[in-house]
Amino acid sequence: MKEIITGEKTVYDGKILSLKLYDVLAKGIPAKREIVRKGGAVAIVPVTGDGRIVMVRQFRLAADEELLEIPAGLMDPGEEPLESAKRELREETGFTAEKWTHITEFYPSAGFTDEYIHIFMAENLTPGETDFDETEDLVTEIYSLDDLINMICSGEIHDGKTVCGISLAKVLR
């Protein structure tokens, strides 16, 4: 069942991803595979003392719209997932958390990318200062878990990692 790689070419090598073109044998038949090599990412479900969820709203060019999402970001080379999650939560929301729980990890789209996302729940939050990347433009918003579930069901929230993280938070809480 495993495909055998017979050739490889880097089509693009950028700051956050590379695009590779592979020649493979799939069931003994020559084929081509286009794979985005991106690596690891983290996402965080930050839960306030009263059970509400801290979210970020930002424009996403790929989707050509403003999305409501759980805080998330790419892991730095050599960075452990929990270390990355703590950094991203502080950078994007200003919050730090006393309690961290790893709730899942998954490939968001294994058909064309090796991106792998770790989702954490962060609790016992303490507010602080954000530290946005130079071009980030985020707005922090806080919602009840039930409101977020309703927004997922109505299609208002349609970011994959957010749907996954919020749905699991509902199951776990």
* Beta-ladder partners of 9: 21
Mean pLDDT of 160-173: 95
Angle at the Cα of 33 from the Cα atoms of 27 and 39, rounded to 5 degrees: 120
Q: What is the DSSP letter of 108?
A: S
Tens of pLDDT along 94-125?
A: 999 999 999 999 999 999 999 999 999 999 99
Round to whole Å and give the CA distance between 148 and 7: 45
Tens of pLDDT along 16-61?
A: 999 999 999 999 999 999 999 998 999 999 999 999 999 999 999 9
Query: Residue 113 corresponds to which tokens in the numbers above?
Result: 């990318």
Q: Which residue has the tokens 């970011």?
A: 159
Tens of pLDDT along 56-80?
A: 999 999 999 999 999 999 999 999 9
CATH: 3.60.150.10, 3.90.79.10, 3.40.50.1950, 3.30.2320.80. Which one for 40-172? Answer: 3.90.79.10
Q: Could you give the residue numbers annotated as active site?
A: 136
Domains in the chain: boundaries: 4-37, 40-172
CA dihedral 94, 98, 104, 107 (to 10 degrees): 30
Round to whole Å and give the CA distance between 159 and 173: 21
Give the residue among 35, 41, 37, 16 at the shortest CA–CA distance from 104: 41
Output the pLDDT for position 23: 98
Q: Tell me how crowded residue 129 is: count the other CB atoms within 10 A of its CB.
A: 7
Average pLDDT value for the chain: 96
